[in-house]
Amino acid sequence: MSDARSRWQESYDASTLRPGAFGTMSGLPLEPVYGPDDGEFPGQFPYTRGPYSSMYRSKHWTMRMFAGFGTATDTNLRFKDILANGGDGLSTAFDLPTLMGCDSDDPLSLGEVGRCGVAVDTIEDMAELFGGIDLEATTTSMTINSPAAPIFAMFLAAAEDAGSRRTHIGGTLQNDIMKEFQAQKEFIFPPRPSLRLVRDTMAFCAAEMPRWHPISVSGYHIREAGSTAAQELAFTLANGFAYVELGMRAGLAVDDFAPRLSFFFNAHLDFFEEIGKYRAARRIWARWMRDRYGAELERSLQLRFHTQTAGVSLMAQQPEVNIVRTAIEALAGVLGGTQSLHTNSMDETLALPTEKSARIALRTQQVIAHETGVTNVADPLGGSWFVEAMTDELERCAEEIFAHIDQLGGGSILDGVVQGIEDGWFQAEIADAAYELERKRNDGRDVIVGVTDFLEGNDEPQPDILYIDGSTEEIQRKRLAQVKANRNSGAVQAALARVRTDAADPEVNLMPALIEAGRARATMGEQMSAMAEVFGRWEERSQI
Amino acid sequence: MSDLFTRSVPHRGRVLLAKIGLDGHDRGVKVVARMLRDAGFEVVYTGLRQTPEMVVAAAIDEDVDCVGVSMLSGAHLALVPPVIDGLRARGSDVPVVVGGIVPDRDVPVLTAAGVAAIMLPGISADDVAATIDAAIASR
């Protein structure tokens, strides 16, 4: 046996496997992986074939469905429904005011409270949101960026008040501010103070929360904003390298925090390009972490990622067809070796999903996991000439982009990314790609089922959609008014004063002050305003 | 095929494109801005996070022929009627069109509020341009 195969075999033999035989439907036995003895095996550097030797034979991906709407009470019920239906992780969608650091009673929040996600103003909402859910047993992901630090502080305080131990709470904070400036545009503070908050959460987790992932480096939104697959790959990994440099500049040893960086990619419709993208991502990360940043721990080199199917690929016409698009995209994520997956619901171009459409989306993952047999063999497409060529080509495209960013930053990816954001370079690259794609579409070069062709059925009425009326906003404002009426305002003012003082000293970690402010029932908006007094607010120069 | 990308088309009017509210998803509005320019419109884009009042002021200051509002967040019922009311209160009859995500049941509500046209996902660039032509012609 070759060295590569025997090392893989040893690791595979030491893995815990799911129960059951791994064979085809017709009873043919299957190897855990196929390939030449002297080739690369899954779980081996540079991890092109997957981070683990046994992949889905040990454990399926986590079926992590993104949910959130209305008040904390509404979303808590949906969370419990997801767990009861076999979902095994939670993923929280916050409403736009929360994402933008505004309380529900802010004039800017008018019409948006609880609409695209759940409204969270204070620690009391956070306690209600996760009430009755064991946060040591279920991992929780929170999609929040500019206000990530105060929201995380509130979550932690609420979880501890409910009896969970900080060392045992597992989950992920998105907290990827770079892609907000580049793509999703939910920024509040300027780039540099924003990065200081990211640094503080990273350092806090490295010291106190061994099971928590403080950053989910996210390409999803970059792609949704219109980038190509190669740009999604390159910008996301460059952002990842930037966070590594940020941690190292803060004095953390790379192996003390890199194992808890995780990634989040899009799964779009071009099946093989997407699979090549995931394989290239793992390979690039491993090489750069070892060779450029000197990481030694295997966990620092292994890129692990969450996948969400492409929202932009869903069409409003004949929405049931979106189930098919989503299934194909989800399969690409699985064949690319994802660690967790969210499948979009068919009605998401129209509104937030109904309970039924969200259930079908989850069932899509369950069919892939339990009925198709694709989980028996690791990296089943490895060795395909086409897939290997795609992987190499995407890696080459990404390296070209890294070279440009490195040059922008004078030898630092961190400085290059910040410079590229401040110059509007990323934003312009993404907008150009979106425009080119749309041009191609309008020239009639692309067929889109139900939109450009195959229109029979387009005149059928829309399916029932989730309709959120204005009453949520009123209920949430009343809740907030009640919390404000019952809190100790002296304690709130003192806690906010400490937030201001700590914000002004870049050497201080803001997390303890934010935890204290959350416990004192300072609202998220109040905490963000206190920090904005010190940090200022960012405005984008809009170019078209 | 589209004539949108041939640049030798006559001047078709001046359009203000706006993002109102907290939503930052600007892919659509930016693509539409460039396609309208290609089609011969003059386009002014407000940038992100405008209030209805800011859009009214910009429409009047820029003396535009049409206002296009991009709405994806679901807050259209709260945020679009104030634009129309504000324009009319200042004596402007400039038409307001909406592009983005509007559930079927909200379409008549927006129309009753004075929205000249609603453009939904999947619309072609030619149809966006034609809709704006029609809105301007209806003044």
Query: Quick check: A99 and A186 in contact, CB under 8 A?
Result: yes
pLDDT at residue number A121:
98
Contacts of B1 in chain A (CB under 8 A): 443-444
A257's tokens: 């925090």
How many contacts, defined by CB atoms under 8 Å, are there between A and B? 117
Q: How far apart are CA A507 and CA A442, in angstroms?
A: 52
d(CA B72, CA A535): 29
Sheet holding B96-100, edge to edge: B41-45, B13-19, B66-71, B96-100, B117-119
Higher-confidence residue of B74 and A343: namely A343
Residue with tokens 């189930």: A323
Distance of CA A460 to CAs A33, A261, A450, A491, Å? 46, 45, 12, 58
Mean pLDDT of the region A189-207: 97
Give A23's strand partners.
A29
Q: In the numeric block, which tokens belong to residue A230? A: 């190669």
Q: How far is B21 from chain A (nearest CA, A)?
A: 7
Chain B contact probe: residue of A144, A185, A224 with most B CBs at under 10 A: A185
DSSP state of A510: S
Q: What is the rounded average pLDDT of the residues A290-295?
A: 98
Identify the closest residue of chain A to B80 by CA–CA distance. A111
Q: For residues A392 and A14, what is the distance between their CA atoms, to the nearest angstrom? A: 31
**Alpha carbon B110 to chain centroid, angstroms:** 13
pLDDT digits (tens, 9 = 90+) for A330-339: 999 999 999 9
* Cα gap A218→A343, rounded to integer Å: 16
**Model pLDDT for residues A208-220, shown as the tens digit of each residue:** 999 999 999 999 9
DSSP string, A226-279: T--HHHHHHHHHHHHHHHHHHHHHTT--HHHHGGGEEEEEEE-S-HHHHHHHHH
Report how far residue A473's alpha carbon sits from residue A121's, in angstroms, rounded to the nearest whole number: 12
Question: Structural domain boundaries of chain A?
Answer: 55-67+174-442, 471-532
Q: How far apart are CA A542 and CA A10, in angstroms?
A: 55
Mutation choice for A interface testing from B31, B32, B44 by most A CBs within 10 A? B31
Report angle CA B15, B20, B22 to the nearest 5 degrees. 150
Q: Which of A179, A541, A101, A93 is nearest to B48 (CA)?
A: A541
Amino acid identity of residue A114, one-letter, is: G
Number of neighbours of residue A6 by Cβ within 10 angstroms: 12
The CA distances from residue A479 to A85, A130, A142, A195, in Å, are 30, 17, 22, 32
- Report the 10 Å Cβ neighbour count for B87: 21
Q: Can you give the pLDDT at residue A352?
A: 85
Do the Cβ atoms of A110 and B79 come within 8 Å?
yes
Q: In whole numbers, what is the pLDDT of chain A averaged over residues?
A: 95
Partner residue opposite B101 with nearest CB, options A350, A431, A448: A350
Select from A214, A200, A202, A128 the least CA-distant residue to A171: A214
pLDDT for A296 beyond 60: yes
CA A421-A424-A430 angle, to 5 degrees, is 95
Of A7-11, A17-21, A146-150, A371-375, minimum mean pLDDT range = A17-21
d(CA A248, nearest CA chain B) in Å: 31
Asked if residues A180 and A139 have their Cβ atoms less than 8 Å apart, the reply is no
State residue A365's pLDDT score.
97
Phi first, then psi, for residue A67 (nearest 5°) are: -150, 150
State the CB neighbour count (10 A cutoff) for residue A7: 15
Q: Would you place residue A1 in the very low, low, confident or very high pLDDT band (cuts 50, 70, 90)? A: low
Q: Is B47 on the interface with A (CB under 8 A)?
A: yes
Contacts of A540 in chain B (CB under 8 A): 47-48
* Pairing relationship of beta strands B66-71 and A340-342 according to DSSP bridges: unpaired
Tally Cβ neighbours within 10 Å of residue B7. 9
Residue-level pLDDT at A396: 98
pLDDT bucket at A493, cuts 50 / 70 / 90: very high
Beta strands B13-19; B41-45: pairing state:
parallel
Residues of A in contact with B46 (CB under 8 A): 542
* Range in A72-86, A189-203, A474-488 with the lowest mean pLDDT: A72-86
Helix H or strand E encompassing A142:
strand A139-143
Rounded to whole angstroms, how far apart are CA atoms A347 and A360?
Answer: 11
Closest CA to A265 of A201, A332, A317, A209: A332
| Helix (H/G/I), strand (E/B), else coil: A419 | helix
Element (H, E) at B84: helix B81-89
Q: In chain B, which residues have their Cβ closer than 8 Å to the Cβ of A430?
A: 27
Name, in order, each residue with C-beta under 8 angstroms of A10's C-beta and a sequence gap of 6 or more.
none
- Enumerate the residues of chain B whose CB falls inside 8 A of the CB of residue A226: 27, 31
Q: What tokens does A214 get?
A: 């403080």
pLDDT at B2: 46
CA-to-CA distance for B118 and B16, rounded, in angstroms? Answer: 16
| pLDDT tens figures, A33-44 | 999 999 999 999
Report pLDDT for A542.
76
* pLDDT grade for B10, boundaries at 50, 70 and 90: low
Kindly report which listed range (A64-73, A112-121, A449-458) carries the lowest average pLDDT score: A64-73
Q: How far apart are CA A517 and CA A499, in angstroms?
A: 8
Question: Tens digits of per-residue pLDDT, B54-113?
Answer: 999 999 999 999 999 999 988 999 999 999 999 999 999 999 999 999 988 999 999 999
Which tens digits make up the pLDDT trace of B29-56?
999 999 999 999 999 999 999 999 999 9
Residue A62 tokens read as 């986590």
Which of B30, B47, B74 lies closest to A116 in CB terms? B74
Question: How many residues are recorded in chain B?
Answer: 139
Position A315 pLDDT exceeds 60: yes
Phi, psi (deg, nearest 5) at residue A217 = -75, 120
How far apart are alpha carbons A112 and A97 in whole angstroms?
A: 7
pLDDT for A77 beyond 50? yes
B48 touches chain A (CB under 8 A): yes
Helix, strand or coil for residue B73?
A: coil
Distance from C-alpha of B94 to C-alpha of A452, rounded to nearest angstrom: 32
Of B1, B27, B124, the CB nearest to A225: B27
Contact B121 A442 (CB under 8 A): no
> Would the pLDDT of A297 be above 90?
yes
Whether the bond into B108 is cis, omega within 30 of 0: no
pLDDT band at B122 (very low <50, low <70, confident <90, very high): confident
B81 in contact with A at a CB cutoff of 8 Å? no
- Cβ atoms of A443 and A435 within 8 Å: the answer is no
CA A158 – CA A172 distance, rounded (Å) = 16
A474 at interface of B, judged by CB pairs closer than 8 A: no
Q: How far is B43 from chain A (nearest CA, A)?
A: 9
Name which CATH class applies to A55-67+174-442.
alpha beta
Q: Which residues of B touch A102 (CB under 8 A)?
A: 22
Q: Is B39 on the interface with A (CB under 8 A)?
A: no
Could you tell me the two tokens for A151? Answer: 């929201």
| Distance (Å) of CA A212 to CA A89, A139, A201 | 14, 9, 10
pLDDT in tens, A395-437: 999 999 999 999 999 999 999 999 999 999 999 999 999 999 9
B13-137 adopts what CATH topology? Rossmann fold (3.40.50)
Residue B1 has pLDDT above 70, yes or no: no
